[in-house]
Amino acid sequence: MRWSALSSSGSLRRRRYNENSSYLYRGPSPLRIRVPPSSAASIAQSASHQQVETLYANHHGWLQGWLRKKLGNAFDAADLAQDTFLRVMRAPGLDRVEEPRAYLTTVARNLLINHVRRRAIEQAYLDALALLPEPMAPAPEVRLMVLETLVEIDRRLLGLPVQAKQAFLLAQLEGLGQAEIAAELGISVSTVKRHLAKAAMRCFFSE
């Protein structure tokens, strides 16, 4: 930005030139504000946050009670209620929600299903660890890493036939060969190959 002075009728008037435009400033004038796209996005985001805050204030207590009845556990219910509102905060179209509690229960129910599945996987993993001799037990950080991997594998294999999941897990976790998996599951080797190919595609190439 630079300033210059112009003497026209014995008085000095300041003129300001914007280096990036031809706009000429000649003293006081009405203020015009153009909101840049980034600011417009920020305003929209602020409005969304305000909607979430209102939703939280009006329905958080009810949602936590609903989850507590489902789980029988106040601590897990509190965690899932918070996770529900975090998920809602990232979801588009909040301004179009007509039935807030129905919407919240839909989001919370999906999180609840994931929570129950994770707990089942965790318990199965802990049961398997209990069979290991103590010197072979993994360190806590390794346990957590393995658990997270198992949960992610389970998520990616959702929708596959049970037998396909079993074949994949026997191959990946137990290290069994195709013939051994076939004998374990009572199916043909060619069926095992199909199951493993389908599970591998789902597990390694899905997001």
| 87 belongs to a structural domain | yes
| 41 belongs to a structural domain | no
| 8 belongs to a structural domain | no
Residue 108 and residue 53 in one domain: yes
Q: Residues 6 or more apart from 146 whose CB is under 8 A from it?
A: 125, 138
Number of domains in the chain: 2
Is residue 99 within 8 A of residue 55, CB to CB? The reply is no
Is residue 81 within 8 A of residue 64, CB to CB? The reply is yes
Runs of H (alpha helix) within 17-161: 37-71, 74-90, 100-130, 140-156
Read off the pLDDT of each residue in 102-122 and give the average, rounded to a whole number.
Answer: 90
Residue 184 is part of which domain span?
157-207
Residue 125 and residue 105 in one domain: yes
Prediction pTM value: 0.58
Residue 55 and residue 143 in one domain: yes
| Predicted local distance difference test score (pLDDT) of residue 206 | 63
| Predicted local distance difference test score (pLDDT) of residue 26 | 42
Residue type (1 letter), 106: T
Q: Nearest Cα to 171, choosing from 200, 149, 148? A: 200
